[in-house]
């Protein structure tokens, strides 16, 4: 029953996005439930180098949070998608835990973490209960186009723009 309000909010946001091209969601409480509620959702202004939703069907086509992936992350979460993406480059993020810990775990494993986004880097924030990670697709001005899962709390893939100053960036392989 807890997911019904999230579904309704997501459907309303999708309707506004379709009609206007921009959605800014606001949360009723002081602690937003989703990254979309906290940061809003802006349709991507540029699409370059898209990875696309190549997340394996064995994790994508089942209920969210119903199985652990190869990196010990729940399926259809941002951390599972990011782990899958960086693993294609030989990087293991097994047991990196919630997104809010990824910058600390990356630093402790010798990976650079800074405020400079580059295509392929991982955008990371500690915001919200669990934080969030996304794969940087492209950088243009003060905006970063990212690909991620679970931005709106619904376990789905999304391509959207972020203000590059609101995240830090982990460079696992670039």
73 Rama class: left (phi>0) / alpha (psi -120 to 50) / beta: beta
pTM for this predicted structure:
0.75
Mean pLDDT of 1-12: 40
pLDDT tens sequence across 76-119? 999 999 999 999 999 999 999 999 999 999 999 999 999 999 99
21 Rama class: left (phi>0) / alpha (psi -120 to 50) / beta: left
Bridge pairing between strands 41-42 and 22-23:
antiparallel
Q: Domains, the chain, ranges and CATH?
A: 43-170 (3.90.1720.10)
What the block records as the tokens of 73 is 């992350």
Is residue 145 within 8 Å of 46, Cβ to Cβ? yes
Give the rounded distance of the alpha carbon of 70 from its chain centre. Answer: 18
pLDDT tens sequence across 47-82? 555 778 999 999 999 999 999 999 999 999 999 999
**Count of CA atoms in the C-beta half-sphere (13 A) of 37:** 21
Higher pLDDT, 19 or 64: 64
């Amino acid at each position: 029953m807890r997911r019904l309000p999230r579904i309704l909010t997501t459907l309303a946001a999708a309707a506004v996005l379709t009609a206007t091209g921009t959605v800014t969601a606001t949360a009723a409480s002081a602690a937003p439930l989703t990254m979309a509620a906290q940061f809003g959702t802006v349709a991507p202004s540029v699409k370059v180098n898209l990875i696309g939703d190549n997340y394996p069907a064995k994790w994508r086509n089942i209920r969210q949070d119903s199985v652990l992936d190869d990196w010990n992350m729940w399926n259809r979460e941002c951390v599972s998608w990011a782990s899958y993406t960086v693993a294609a480059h030989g990087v293991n993020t097994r047991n990196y835990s919630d997104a809010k810990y990824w910058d600390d775990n990356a630093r402790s494993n010798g990976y650079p973490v800074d405020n400079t986004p580059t295509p392929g880097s991982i955008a990371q924030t500690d915001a919200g209960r669990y934080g969030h990670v996304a794969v940087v697709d492209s950088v243009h001005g003060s905006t970063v186009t990212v690909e991620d899962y679970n931005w709106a709390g619904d376990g789905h893939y999304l391509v959207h723009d972020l203000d590059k100053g609101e995240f830090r960036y982990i460079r696992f392989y670039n």
